Structures are given as C-alpha cells and as structure tokens.
Amino acid sequence: MSQVTLKQYIKYLFKVDFTFLTYFRHHPFTFVRIALFWIVLYNETRGDDG
C-alpha cells in the first residue's frame, strides 16, 4: 500500500467515525441495538471456529 492510499484510507476512516458519532448522538438506542447484534454475531462465528 502506497503512502497516498494510506492517507486516503485514514481520512476515510475519520469520515466514517465522524458519521458514526453524529448518528450515535441522534440515535443512541438504535446504535446500541446494532452493536449488540454484532457482538452476538461475532460470538456465534467464533464459536463455530472453535
């Protein structure tokens, strides 16, 4: 990965983080539900691997 691509990637990550924070401020409960869903999903897939 070249430096320019890395910079763009970091910039993109910050943009996504900012969008997430803005969304979280307006929809905290929806965000928590999505987070819980992903945690459960992650645990399920990890259990299958083990």
Percent of the chain that is helix, strand, coil (3-state, to 5): 90, 0, 10
- Confidence (pLDDT) at 49: 61
Res 6 pLDDT > 80: yes
- The rounded distance, in Å, linking the Cα atoms of 27 and 21 is 10
- Confidence (pLDDT) at 14: 87
pTM: 0.40
> What phi and psi, each to the nearest 5 degrees, are found at residue 35?
-60, -45
User: What mean pLDDT comes out for the span 11-40?
Assistant: 86
- Confidence (pLDDT) at 20: 81
Mean pLDDT, all residues of the chain: 83
Considering only residues 28 and 12, tell me which one the structure prediction assigns the higher pLDDT.
12
